[in-house]
A and B are shown apart, each in its own frame.
Chain A
Amino acid sequence: MYSQKSLNTDEIHHKHMLDRSEIPALFSSCLPKACIFTSIEKLRPYECDAYTAYRSLPLAVLLPETKQQVIDIVKTCQKYQLPIVTRGAGTGLSGGAHPIENGILLNLSKLNQIYEINHELQYARVGPGVRNLAISEAASTYDLYYAPDPSSQIACTIGGNIAENSGGVHCLKYGLTVHNILEITFVNIDGEVITVGSECYENPGYDLLALLTGSEGMLAIMIQAKVKLLPKPANKEVILAAFNRIEDAGEAVANIIASGVIPAGLEMMDQAVIQATENFCQAGYPTDAAAILLCELDGFDEALQWEIQQVTQQCNQCHATSVRKANNAQEQELFWKGRKSAFPAIGQLAPDYLCMDGTIPRQHLAHVLGEISNISERIGLPVANVFHAGDGNLHPLIMYDANNAGELDKAEEIGSQILELCVSVGGTITGEHGVGIEKLNQMCVQFNSQELIQFEQVKLAFDPERLFNPGKAIPTLQRCAEFGAMHVHAGELPFKDIPRF
């Protein structure tokens, strides 16, 4: 039923010779038997995260209920040289929590306590398994909230958010996860508990907090975090503008920002997405438009009025065919509903889709969208575009049918070309989804061999035995050599003495 691929794990060292049947006994002193899964039926739900193109079964899934159990598990894994893949809700889109066949999958979703909401210092102290949205819900008693809001915020956990440095629709104004984390407590590969960061506005020494955020579970296992809470904005407004040309919408985005407005959210959708979402949820989008912009503004009354004026004026000057402000909270919800339904709406058009995540300097938007459409035509699969326009983060959705032989390969080829295009205009292969297993090859395009070796050195500074999530995020030079996309630095051949890592 599914044209599945299995992950190439040649790159991962098989250090131990343990069999699945031996696992429960190894961990019986760490956690209750009921929290150790080794039967195939119980492992099946964990064979992938939300990047579903590849599937593998781990040796075992461990479901600790306390921090101490996590510590004991890590110590045992180190003793027996068992690789550990940490997982939260499994909503990641790049395969960061994809299991390793000879490794343990550590599911932290039971560490889901909110320990403290401190309204004076405005932070929440939470376990890694706490859902993103649950933090804002708990903080709302004090009119506070946690700003980063990835689209999966109902389900995704803060542990996963920190591992991937998740974004969302409000990043331009409120930042990514890295800007909203105050302190992380983690277990290192020796099973020691270490805290970095604080409740203060600054921390001494190297910025380990930043380094750990977005490290895709490859440096440490986070067991507690203090996240920043913000006062809820006084008021917000949502504006919907339609354009006949995608270039005009792109220009409007640049002009809005040049006028001095930093919107809380600024989203763009192309015609394919507009039509799909309109069929799906009737948000009232003009289906004949080539592109629409959705602009959320928040703040103080008069400042807000000034911003509305600016945005309206800039859209009009860029030949918007209509500019509408939502009249009330319900209409605001409706405007957003379309954008938030974009993925499921595309899911109705095609059995499968790949979601890309490249980010580009905004000035190249029109060029990049034009090229994406060329790539899509050349290879022969449709691509729809949703776009966090304010921060340059593109989500081209490549539609395919996994039942048709060769379509996944084609979809991956399109994705690969789109990401290389993003790099070529000075952008990046991933804005908020992470590299995981999905974009390992494109890492070889964005970074040269010396840079990849430097990343590897960072990994070894934390995890010299390469037990934390091996094979993810940072490709081996071997892999890049095979992919054939490695940059040659200063005329030197990078493959002379290929280290295997």
Chain B
Amino acid sequence: MLNQQIQSLCDTVKHAYETKQALNIQGGNSKSFYANHVDAQTISTTDLSGIIEYQPSELYITAHAGTPLQIIEDTLTEHKQMFSFEPPYYSPSTTLGGSIACGLSGPRRPYADAIRDCILGTDIINGKGEHLSFGGKVIKNVAGYDVSRLMCGAFGTLGIITQASIKVLPKPEHEITLLFEHHQQQAKKNIQDWLNSLIPITATYFQNDHLWIRISGLENIVSTIHKKLGGEKIHSSKTFWQAIKNHQADFFQTDIPLWRCIVPHNTNEIVLQGESCFEWNGGLRWIKSEETAEKVFKTCQTLNGYASLFRSKEKPADCFAPMNNQVKKLHMNLKHAFDPENILNPGRMYSWC
């Protein structure tokens, strides 16, 4: 299947390996704003398109890496299923491969899965131009090291993903979004109390003393919960969360550098200048701030989290917070293990990797 296209990509990589020429891997080019820029010849995966295998009762879908995510999600919706990690788009051209490589999960992440949790198998082309297959199509699989999951969030620096099998789940029958007026402290306390009493919350968003929560499940259950919790039911739940997930909401329309801060969800406040909002019970905070990269990195690190500069006109040397030397060394060793000539997206994730 698409053997010719895959062979041609392998040949390109093999040539690059032999001539030590760097390659800039591109899917739908929807997240080129994210992390570092790679100044190199572009190698595109968009020819690798199409769903390879999907049987709803098997709870997985296998597709070529260059398949537009929208096509896959539409197919899942037809069969009342979904990706439980609710991947963000940022542009309609987003592909499956790019979503895996960037490792971003959407609003449902704390209540269901992260994208890395759903990776069952990936086929990749490594830095020597070899087409390799890791993992499989089953949730339980411990044969060999978990190389397929390692590709998630690696920004293509360990291999070009050519296809992937991803876990899918049934889509809840119904969902509503409730709006509350709360201080941040109260909002976080309420969310935690509701989660502890097993209320089926599937998304949270807080901004300017307003808390939105999404409840999913059978229609009668969702309405019972609405009665119990109160709050104002908003008009279009779906549109609201899409705007948050894909950054179309007003908060994200800005020229100020946008920071993505991941912290333990019970963190009180991240003391940085600038407007902020949170998702994931408080575990993901978006901050519009002119503070220096060094300060943002340091502040989040002190809170046992990490920060990345998500969108900005001007970029520091690295958009991700620095890591300690030992972990850095492991990264470099792994990079060398997959890509000995450092030709696959060099510097895309970290300038040194």
Which of A's residues lie within 8 Å of B, judged by CB?
Answer: 120-121, 143, 164-165, 167, 171-172, 175-176, 178-179, 188, 192, 194, 196, 198-208, 210-211, 213-215, 219, 231, 233-234, 254-255, 257-258, 260-262, 299-300, 302-303, 306, 359-363, 388, 391-393, 426-435, 439, 443, 446-448, 450-451, 454-455, 457-462, 473-474
Do A206 and B154 form a contact, CB below 8 Å, given A198-B305, A431-B138, A462-B333?
yes
Q: Are B263 and A451 in contact (CB under 8 A)?
A: no
Q: Are B306 and A203 in contact (CB under 8 A)?
A: yes
Q: Which of B90-98, B205-213, B217-225, B287-295 contacts A (4 or more CB under 8 A)?
A: B217-225
CB neighbours (8 Å) of A457 from chain B are: 337-338
- B 111-164 contacts with A by CB, 8 A: 113-114, 116-117, 126, 130, 132-134, 136-147, 149-150, 152-154, 158
4 closest cross-chain pairs (CB), A and B: A431-B140, A461-B333, A457-B337, A260-B170
Q: Which residue of the partner chain B has the closest CB to A94?
A: B142
Q: In the complex, what distance in Å separates the CA atom of A195 from the CA atom of B226? A: 42
CB neighbours (8 Å) of B138 from chain A are: 359-361, 391-393, 427-428, 431
Other-chain residue from B145, B195, B220, B333 in contact with A214 (beta carbon distance below 8 A): B145
Listed residue (A167, A204, A302, A451) with the most chain B CB atoms within 10 angstroms of its CB: A204
Q: Are A194 and B330 in contact (CB under 8 A)?
A: yes
Q: Are A262 and B169 in contact (CB under 8 A)?
A: yes
Q: Jot down 19 A-B pairs with beta carbons below 8 A, ordered by A.
A: A120-B192, A121-B266, A165-B142, A165-B146, A175-B117, A176-B139, A204-B308, A207-B150, A234-B198, A303-B200, A361-B60, A391-B140, A393-B140, A427-B138, A428-B136, A428-B143, A435-B143, A443-B143, A451-B132
Given contacts A392-B138, A459-B145, 6 further A-B contacts (CB under 8 A): A200-B263, A201-B280, A206-B150, A206-B331, A428-B141, A430-B142
Do A454 and B140 form a contact, CB below 8 Å, given A200-B264, A201-B284?
no
Q: Which residue of the partner chain A has the closest CB to B172?
A: A260
Other-chain residue from A215, A233, A451 in contact with B134 (beta carbon distance below 8 A): A451
CB neighbours (8 Å) of B336 from chain A are: 461
Q: Are B140 and A201 in contact (CB under 8 A)?
A: no
Contact with A along B55-67 (1 / 0, CB 8 A): 1111110000000
Verify if B315 is at the interface (C-beta below 8 Å from A). Answer: no
Q: Are B305 and A446 in contact (CB under 8 A)?
A: no
Q: Are A430 and B196 in contact (CB under 8 A)?
A: no
Q: In the complex, what distance in Å separates the CA atom of A213 from the CA atom of B132? A: 21
CB neighbours (8 Å) of B263 from chain A are: 200
Q: Which of B26-34, B177-185, B321-329 contacts A (4 or more CB under 8 A)?
A: B321-329
Q: In the complex, what distance in Å separates the CA atom of A205 from the CA atom of B155? A: 9
Q: In the complex, what distance in Å separates the CA atom of A204 from the CA atom of B224? A: 39
Q: In the complex, what distance in Å separates the CA atom of A460 from the CA atom of B136? A: 24
What is the number of contacts between chain A and chain B, taking CB atoms within 8 Å? 228
CB neighbours (8 Å) of A446 from chain B are: 143-144
Q: In the complex, what distance in Å separates the CA atom of A299 from the CA atom of B218? A: 12
Q: In the complex, what distance in Å separates the CA atom of A213 from the CA atom of B119? A: 14
Verify if B349 is at the interface (C-beta below 8 Å from A). Answer: yes
CB distance from A99 to the nearest CB of B (A): 21
Q: Are B147 and A231 in contact (CB under 8 A)?
A: no
Q: In the complex, what distance in Å separates the CA atom of A234 from the CA atom of B195? A: 12
CB neighbours (8 Å) of A199 from chain B are: 264, 304
Q: In the complex, what distance in Å separates the CA atom of A165 from the CA atom of B117? A: 13
Q: Are B55 and A363 in contact (CB under 8 A)?
A: yes
Do A205 and B133 form a contact, CB below 8 Å, given A200-B283, A461-B334?
no
Q: Are A300 and B134 in contact (CB under 8 A)?
A: no
Q: Are A204 and B149 in contact (CB under 8 A)?
A: no
Q: In the complex, what distance in Å separates the CA atom of A185 from the CA atom of B141? A: 24
Q: In the complex, what distance in Å separates the CA atom of A430 from the CA atom of B143? A: 6
CB neighbours (8 Å) of A391 from chain B are: 138-140
Q: Are B142 and A172 in contact (CB under 8 A)?
A: no
Q: Are A454 and B338 in contact (CB under 8 A)?
A: yes
